[in-house]
Amino acid sequence: MDYTRLWLDYEPVESLKGRSFSLITLESGRDIENILSELTLAVTVMTGSQPLSSGIDTDYVIRLVIDPELDSEGYTLIKDGRIYSVRSGGHRGLIYGSFRLIYIFKTKGLGGDFKLECKPHSPIRMADHWDNMDGSIERGYSGASFFFKDNKVVVNERTADYARLMASIGINAVAINNVNVRGEAAFLLTERHRSQLIRLAEILDGWGISLYLSINFASTIRVGGMDTADPADSRVQAWWSETSRQLFSSLPGFGGYLVKADSEGEFGPFAYGRTHAEGANMLARAVKPYGGRVIWRCFVYNCQQDWRDNKTDRAAQSYDGFIGLDGKFDDNVILQIKNGPVDFQVREPVHPLFGGLKKTNIMLEFQIAQEYTGQQRHVCYLMPAFKEVLDFDTHSGSRYSLVRDIVAGKNSPSSSFGICAVMNTGSDPNWTGHDLAAANLFGFGALAFDPTLSPEEIAEGWILLTYGRDELVLGNMLKILLSSLDAYEKYTAPLGIGWMVNPNHHFGPNVDGYEYDRWGTYHRASHSAIGRDRSDRGTGYARQYPEPLFSLYNEIKTCPEELLLFFHRVRFDHIMRDGRTLLQRIYSDHFEGADTAAEFVRLWQELEGRLDGEVYERVLKRLRFQAEHSTEWRDRINTYFYRLTEIPDALGRKIYE
Ligand code: GCV
């Protein structure tokens, strides 16, 4: 097994062995050459001989055909006797359909006749990298950047491997650099890095992927030599127009800009008294002639809060900052909204801008980098959480009110809608540090393409494609993956309250780590209660949701228990729906979560000898670490509450003094 190829490693397939194939298409181009090479490789390894280019004398024929009736990114895959045909309205669809065919060969072999029709749910399916030009990655947990090193753009074999991997899960857009655009990264817009960026864009484009660049809103000052970045200034507008003209005319498939502005110290239009809409529209007009887009992030809040101020609520600020601008953005602007109102915590409610914004293009932002969910050292399969978000009914009153349909643009004629994730890849040979974190990479692509898939189906597909069919491997890995999020949620901060991590690097338990600082993330525990009241008797955040959600969240008695401490300040002796006190629920969750993490080690050890030795050892080491670390989480949190309340665990389990 070559684990560096993740789910794209091929082996002989019993039912294909000795069969002859031919590969036929009238299409041409860099992308077609790429997918033909992939099919050639897969078929050669699986059957034992190279496919031919004429179908007359072969057992089977694979045809790639353009069908103008079909969607350019959708495909129809048909097996009819000896003919397999991949049909699509465009080359991207041919790529996705061909990978699907390879997956079918890999997991099912030749099989009988079939017909599959697929169309990606969201127009844009994007990978956002937070890579810096010095080679580091903000919140990167799997080695250094493979896009940048020593302030230069890197293009090598890994770039090609990366593009192929992304295409194999249906990703069609990639932002390569950190949204915090510091130092040399601002110069990505200039001639200085152009030739390397052209090579990079060509590689991505060859797999149907558009390159985006994160930009600094102060670029006119930082790299343009001007004294202003005011979006209303005609010199600023002209600079962006010319810069965009150059980028679009030289970078194949260039998509546009990703912008973090007026957020966590990043420069933005507020400096000139302008709104987000004025800032975004200025850029949008510069890229409009080329069909470009501006993706503008909504992660905007006051990060200079005084912890003594109990009125200001960080959770409310993103909605408050953007809701009044609904309808004011140009049609090639997309607002990028994190899944929850705070910051990728293990449990948050769905961001109220979904459904709230009705006349604006939007994109949902997930994070698979696991910044707050174990940093790829804990196994934490995130698809169940993503699925909940996508299936959430916003009760927006629009024709389509589920998040997955809203972010797919079902209520709008525009195709500037989509889903993205902050990526978990780096230079580690296995791409994601933790081998099991690759399930999040695969899963994100799968879910963005088809949000009706279940987390189980996706995990099963990933395991079969990566590790082959061994029932014990499949069963145990599924158990680990599918219980990992629940376990993580239980042994870390309780019931939606979030944080309780070490400041800055966000790893490991620290109950008061964010309690007295400027970030607006306070749990405010006393000896008798914990949480912030976000009902209409408190900060009023719950009012950002329409009925019936507002009423549901606004009252302790109806609030979903997993979000209880997000929305309410609750006494420790509050009786939960199953009759336990809140305190006892916290204790028990922590014992149970850590027990589950210990079980992962046992389940994994049963797989010894059934997996590649290196993979086995590497994962075992991480699972052992996780089991140990989860007891640290359990004991720190339980001790904290025990010390506050002096009430022991009702089941007599050990809590430290
Ligand atoms: C890129 C969180 C992270 C930051 C990140 C920010 C963002 O605050 O900790 O590292 O910055 O989110 O999404 O912009």
HEC profile of 592-650: HHHHHHHHHHHHHHCCCCCCCHHHHHHHHHHHHHHHHHHHHHHHHHHHHHHHHHCCCCC
Mean pLDDT estimate for the chain: 97
Instruction: Kindly report the pTM of this predicted structure.
Output: 0.98
* 180 Cα: distance to centroid of ligand 1 (angstroms): 8
Contact 291, 241 (CB under 8 A): no
* 643 Cα: distance to centroid of ligand 1 (angstroms): 33
* 211 Cα: distance to centroid of ligand 1 (angstroms): 21
User: Does the CB atom of residue 260 touch ligand 1 within 6 A?
Assistant: yes
Q: Which atom of ligand 1 is nearest to the CA of 367?
A: 13
Contact 353, 385 (CB under 8 A): no
State the span(s) of the chain assigned CATH 3.90.1330.10.
468-532+569-657
118 falls in which pLDDT band (50, 70, 90)? very high
Summarize the confidence of residues 189-210 as an average pLDDT.
Answer: 98
Tens of pLDDT, residue by residue over 127-184, are 999 999 999 999 999 999 999 999 999 999 999 999 999 999 999 999 999 999 999 9
3-118: CATH number: 3.30.379.10
Tens of pLDDT, residue by residue over 329-360, are 999 999 999 999 999 999 999 999 999 999 99
Q: How far apart are CA 206 and CA 200, in angstroms?
A: 10
What per-residue confidence (pLDDT) applies to 57? 85
Q: What CATH class has 468-532+569-657?
A: alpha beta
* 344 Cα: distance to centroid of ligand 1 (angstroms): 9
What per-residue confidence (pLDDT) applies to 56? 78
Query: Ligand 1: which of 129, 130, 363 to mutate, most ligand atoms within 8 Å of CB?
Result: 130
Name the least confident of 52-61, 119-128, 435-444. 52-61
Q: Counting runs of H as helices and runs of E as strands, what totals does the chain give?
A: 18, 17
So which residues are the catalytic ones? Answer: 264, 343, 371
% of the chain exceeding 70 in pLDDT: 100
Report the nearest-CA residue for atom 7 of ligand 1.
299
Residue 504 above 80 pLDDT? yes
Contact 332, 287 (CB under 8 A): yes
Tens of pLDDT, residue by residue over 230-281, are 999 999 999 999 999 999 999 999 999 999 999 999 999 999 999 999 999 9
- Reference 523, options 494, 543, 553, 502; nearest CA is 494
State the span(s) of the chain assigned CATH 3.30.379.10.
3-118
Q: How far apart are CA 522 and CA 525, in angstroms?
A: 9
Report the nearest-CA residue for atom 12 of ligand 1.
343
Token reading at 321: 């900052």
640 falls in which pLDDT band (50, 70, 90)? very high
* 183 Cα: distance to centroid of ligand 1 (angstroms): 17
192 falls in which pLDDT band (50, 70, 90)? very high
* DSSP string for residues in 279-345: HHHHHHHHHGGGT-EEEEE-----SS--TT--S--HHHHHHHHHGGGTT-S-TTEEEEEESSSSSS-
- Residue 129: its H or E element: strand 124-131
State the span(s) of the chain assigned CATH 3.20.20.80.
124-454
User: Does the CB atom of residue 136 touch ligand 1 within 6 A?
Assistant: no
Q: Which atom of ligand 1 is nearest to the CA of 130?
A: 1
What per-residue confidence (pLDDT) applies to 54? 79
CA 262 to each of CA 95, 180, 273, 297, 472: distance values in angstroms, whole numbers, following the listed order: 39, 11, 11, 10, 51
User: Does the CB atom of residue 604 touch ligand 1 within 6 A?
Assistant: no
* 488 Cα: distance to centroid of ligand 1 (angstroms): 21
Tens of pLDDT, residue by residue over 562-621, are 999 999 999 999 999 999 999 999 999 999 999 999 999 999 999 999 999 999 999 999
| CATH superfamily placement of domain 124-454 | Glycosidases (3.20.20.80)
What per-residue confidence (pLDDT) applies to 441? 98
CA 152 to each of CA 62, 137, 146, 163: distance values in angstroms, whole numbers, following the listed order: 41, 14, 11, 19
User: Does the CB atom of residue 299 touch ligand 1 within 6 A?
Assistant: yes
Q: Which atom of ligand 1 is nearest to the CA of 179?
A: 1
Query: Ligand 1: which of 299, 424, 507 to mutate, most ligand atoms within 8 Å of CB?
Result: 299
Report the nearest-CA residue for atom 2 of ligand 1.
343
Token reading at 484: 């990992």
CA 30 to each of CA 24, 101, 177, 616, 646: distance values in angstroms, whole numbers, following the listed order: 16, 20, 25, 38, 68
Residue 55 above 80 pLDDT? no
Report the nearest-CA residue for atom 11 of ligand 1.
180
Return the number of other C-beta atoms located less than 10 Å from residue 30's C-beta: 13
Query: Ligand 1: which of 264, 301, 348, 504 to mutate, most ligand atoms within 8 Å of CB?
Result: 264
* Partners of 295 in beta bridges: 258, 334
What per-residue confidence (pLDDT) applies to 111? 87
Query: Ligand 1: which of 180, 182, 365 to mutate, most ligand atoms within 8 Å of CB?
Result: 180
Residue 52 above 90 pLDDT? yes
* Partners of 64 in beta bridges: 25, 86
